[in-house]
Amino acid sequence: MQEEVDSRTVALVINSAKLTGRVMVAAISRFLAHHNAKKQQKQNIIPHGKQSVKQLIGQNQGVTSIESNDPDIKAFEKVARKYGVDYAIKKVRDENGKHKYIIFFKGRDNDAITAAFQEYTAKAMEKAKKPSILKKLKEIGEKAHNMVLERTKDKQRGQVR
């Protein structure tokens, strides 16, 4: 009686192990099929906005470029996204060792990039006109420090202002 129960238990364990193995193989094959389908879908999507130079050239729509020496290139990226321009930015060192940026964009986006660059330069000029808050704070700090020094000198003399 005990041997019969043991053999049935062993048979049940073997059958369940085979079942889980089959289920595991089926699950992995479904996952791989789903993953490959997603990968195919991703390859068919044309990127927009900021992208690599290789992706931009790979679209075969002609590429033009503009050079910029402004280190605040993030401001341009905001404006370009606003205008829906497809662009790529490459950071390059010039002969003096300074960094400059080359902005590549599609040839068909010429009018949009012109408008975006005009807005970007207008913002840059406006920013250049405004005095730096940090400079103002530094000047005020120096004035306050000088006032404290003058007051301590007056106290040492016996004169308090």
What is the reported pLDDT for 145? 81
Is the pTM value of this prediction over 0.85? no
Fold of 53-130: Alpha-Beta Plaits (3.30.70)
What is the reported pLDDT for 36? 87
Q: What's the CA gap between 79 and 145, in Å, rounded? A: 42
What is the reported pLDDT for 42? 74
Task: Please choose, from the candidates 154, 153, 72, the residue with its C-alpha nearest in 3D space to the C-alpha of residue 120.
Answer: 72
At residue 148 the predicted structure's pLDDT band, cuts being 50, 70 and 90, is: confident
- Domain positions in the chain: 1-45, 53-130, 132-161
The residue-averaged pLDDT of 103-115 equals: 82
